[in-house]
Amino acid sequence: MAYGALDAGVNFFAGYPITPSTEIAEILAAELPKRDGVFIQMEDEIASICAITGASLA
């Protein structure tokens, strides 16, 4: 799923990685900076949705 998102052009991820999505966050944390993307690990789910809402408006 993470590589599919990268191939589709994702360049921003703000999330709170918990099982079973931890592997997705680990891959994006490693790959996004290599592709001039941004990875932010948030403190909870609410902060995540606020960050991605702001990013979508930018």
The pLDDT tens digits for 2-18 are: 999 999 999 999 999 88
CB neighbour list of residue 18: distance below 8 Å, 6 or more residues apart: none
Digit-coded pLDDT (tens) for 24-54: 999 999 999 999 999 999 999 999 999 999 9
Q: How many domains does the chain have?
A: 1
Please state, in angstroms and rounded to a whole number, the distance separating the CA atoms of residues 44 and 37: 21
The answer to whether the CB of 13 falls within 8 A of the CB of 31 is: no
Could you identify the residue written with the tokens 């993307």?
Answer: 37
Backbone angles phi, psi at 17, to 5 degrees: -70, 115
Q: Tell me which residue range forms the domain holding 19.
A: 2-57
The structure's pTM equals: 0.84
Task: For residue 55, give every residue at least 6 positions away whose Cβ sits within 8 Å of its Cβ, in sequence order, or none.
Answer: 12, 14
